[in-house]
């Protein structure tokens, strides 16, 4: 390993981005603390799908990825079940990861990340109230009145990031005026084919389901998504709303919703923020939703957060963190390739949400004719996703090679 001295890195927020970052920075040989405001690192929500690149990154970070989720072949369909898009993964991805999307539940991802965390790294009940910095240090003003000093601070503090606001000022949330209901079930008597991720659209609703594995158990997760004004409070019954929205879809979506325990149904409004032109300033940078809040329409927010964490740690390996110029160069090198990838995903997610749920009524029939009869969606989603996945796998391979060489 390089002879660069160990530096002090503070990561704010123990979500997927913060946990992956802490693991990667620790592997890079620096002293790292992961500061979480709550009493534990707790997953907000249940349903989750991950693409192969974050799974690969997790494995390299020392996380046990064996049987983490159900690998699925992904298709877009219309509400009647007719295929519009096949996400055709290259054979090597299918060989190494079993398929494309991997269906799991969020708590197991957290458990496995935490199991890989070296003792003493995670500090819970440690909210950060503000940060300030000069060329030699970053000071973190903690909610308990203490001050922590670090050479580098990494904001992994989510869509309402304090670090982002401090570095780049406030920017309004972009309300998508959509709501999503999601749930999961272990029902095994419905005759549902395993190993599939089916994303369907009716004129106004998205209805989707995938296989999952959770702690060695097989099951299914599903979600339904519709337009809903962000200003309007939701007051309904979650399971009843989901049942109603799922009614117009082909087997097995209505049956999966019916088989779901109402306690396992959740709802989220959908919002993000427009991509930032720059993430890092001075000795601070951003990862995950703090850098690029992503709508669940992409189903890649936690995946990109994990990738960010992996890459930022690899970029800080061998860097003398007391050297301001070296820190600046490393943080710039981290964010430069990440920005176009993450901005593309979050913008595409926003656009798809608008197209499927906010198209003016007279255009919906025409839109669906185009989607049913032309290869447009195959080109926009079916071919771009495998390319993005391959390019991320390739970038991880390159980063890992450089990291391994530097360690010899
Ligand atoms: C319904 C739904 C479905 C989704 N499905 C998928 C999917 O299938 N695949 C996928 O990849 N993504 C999915 N996402 C997106 C994904 O959940 C997010 O992109 C991901 O959680 C972002 O991770 P993060 O670590 O950046 O932020 P977060 O998960 O928001 O974590 C931020 C952490 O920072 C802590 N924190 C905040 N402020 C402070 C502070 N001042 N001091 C200390 N700690 C602080 C918080 O308590 C929290 O623990 C979905 C999202 C939703 C809502």
Name the H helices within 222-360.
238-246, 253-258, 301-316, 324-357
Q: Is the CB of 72 under 6 A from ligand 1?
A: no
Strand ranges (DSSP E) for 82-137?
Answer: 83-87, 101-105, 122-123, 128-133
pLDDT one-digit tens code per residue, 347-367: 999 999 999 999 999 999 999
CA of 367 to the centre of ligand 1 (A): 33
Residue-level pLDDT at 381: 84
Residue-wise burial string across 256-287, b where 16 or more C-beta atoms lie within 10 A, e elsewhere:
bbebbeeebbbbbbbbbbebbeebbebbbbbb
Q: Pick the closest to residue 180 from 241, 267, 243 (CA basis).
A: 267
The pLDDT of residue 297 is 83
Ligand 1 center to 365 CA (angstroms): 36
Alpha-carbon span 107 to 404, nearest angstrom: 31
Pick the residue whose CA is nearest to atom 15 on ligand 1: 301
Element (H, E) at 143: none
Instruction: Judge whether 4 and 91 are in contact, CB under 8 Å.
Output: no
Distance CA 114, CA 41 (A): 8
User: What pTM value is reported for the model?
Assistant: 0.97
pLDDT of residue 385: 85
Specify the pLDDT at position 193.
96
Residue appearing with tokens 């669906």: 368
What percent of the chain has pLDDT above 70? 99
Under 8 Å CB-to-CB from 404, ≥6 apart: which residues? none
Domains of the chain are 8-44+118-174+273-403 (3.50.50.60)
pLDDT band at 99 (very low <50, low <70, confident <90, very high): confident
182 ligand 1 Cβ < 6 A: yes
Q: Is the pLDDT of residue 103 over 80?
A: yes
Q: Which of 303, 306, 230 is nearest to 19 (CA)?
A: 306
Average pLDDT value for residue range 383-400: 94
Tell me, what's the pLDDT at 406? 84
Res 4 pLDDT > 80: no
pLDDT tens figures, 170-194: 989 999 999 999 999 999 999 999 9
CB 182 within 8 A of CB 40: no
Which H or E run includes 168? Answer: helix 162-168
Q: pLDDT (tens digit, 9 = 90+) per residue, 140-172?
A: 999 999 999 999 999 999 999 999 999 999 989
CB-ligand 1 contact for 17 (6 Å cutoff): yes
Task: Round to whole Å and give the CA distance between 69 and 268.
Answer: 22
Give the least confident one: 41-55, 75-89, 375-389.
Answer: 375-389
Region 209-213 average pLDDT: 98
Q: Please answer whether residues 46 and 139 qualify as being in contact, where contact means their C-beta atoms are separated by less than 8 angstroms.
A: no
**CA of 55: how far to CAs of 86, 162, 274, 291, 313, in Å?**
21, 28, 26, 20, 16
Q: Does the structure show a pLDDT above 70 at 3?
A: no
Q: Is the pLDDT reported for residue 243 higher than 70?
A: yes
348 C-beta neighbours (distance < 10 Å), count: 20
Other beta carbons within 10 Å of 376: 14
Using a 6 Å cutoff on CB, does residue 74 contact ligand 1?
Answer: no
Between CA 94 and CA 90 the distance in angstroms is 7
| Atom of ligand 1 lying closest to residue 13 CA | 34
Give the pLDDT of residue 2. Answer: 52
Q: What is the mean pLDDT of residues 248-256?
A: 98
DSSP code for 290: G
């Amino acid at each position: 390993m390089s002879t660069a001295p160990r530096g002090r890195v503070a990561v704010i927020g123990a979500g997927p981005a913060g946990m992956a970052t802490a693991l990667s920075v620790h592997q890079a040989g620096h002293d790292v603390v992961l500061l979480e405001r709550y009493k534990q690192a707790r997953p907000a929500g249940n349903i989750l799908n991950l693409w192969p690149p974050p799974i690969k990154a997790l494995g390299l970070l020392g996380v046990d990825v064996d049987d983490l989720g159900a690998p699925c072949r992904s298709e877009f369909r219309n509400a009647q079940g007719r295929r519009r898009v096949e996400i055709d993964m290259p054979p090597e991805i299918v060989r190494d990861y079993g398929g494309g999307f991997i269906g799991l539940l969020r708590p197991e991802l957290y458990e496995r990340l935490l199991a890989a965390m070296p003792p003493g790294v995670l500090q819970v009940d440690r909210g950060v109230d503000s940060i300030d910095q000069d060329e030699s240090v970053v000071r973190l003003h903690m909610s308990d009145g203490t001050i922590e000093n670090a050479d580098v601070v990494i904001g992994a503090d989510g869509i309402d990031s304090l670090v982002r606001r401090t570095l780049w000022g406030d920017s309004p949330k972009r309300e998508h005026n959509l709501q999503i209901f999601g749930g999961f079930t272990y029902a095994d008597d419905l005759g549902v084919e395993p190993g599939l991720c089916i994303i369907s659209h009716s004129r106004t609703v998205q209805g989707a389901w995938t296989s999952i594995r959770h702690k060695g158990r097989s099951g299914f997760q599903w979600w339904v998504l519709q337009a809903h004004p962000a200003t309007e409070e939701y007051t309904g019954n979650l399971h009843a709303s989901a049942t109603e929205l799922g009614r117009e879809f082909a087997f097995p979506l209505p049956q999966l919703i019916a088989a779901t325990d109402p306690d396992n149904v959740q709802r989220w409004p959908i919002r993000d923020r427009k991509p930032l032109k720059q993430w890092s300033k001075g000795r601070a940078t951003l990862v995950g939703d703090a850098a690029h809040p992503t709508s669940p329409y992409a189903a890649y927010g936690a995946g990109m957060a994990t990738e960010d964490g992996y890459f930022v740690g690899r970029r800080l390996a061998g860097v003398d963190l007391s050297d301001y110029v070296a820190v600046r160069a490393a943080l710039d090198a981290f964010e430069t390739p990440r920005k176009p990838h993450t901005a593309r995903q979050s913008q595409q997610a926003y656009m798809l949400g608008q197209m499927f749920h906010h198209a003016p009524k007279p255009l919906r029939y025409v839109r669906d004719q185009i989607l049913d009869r032309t290869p447009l969606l195959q080109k926009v989603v079916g071919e771009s996703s495998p390319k993005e996945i391959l390019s991320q796998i390739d970038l991880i391979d390159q980063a890992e090679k450089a990291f391994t060489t530097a360690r010899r």
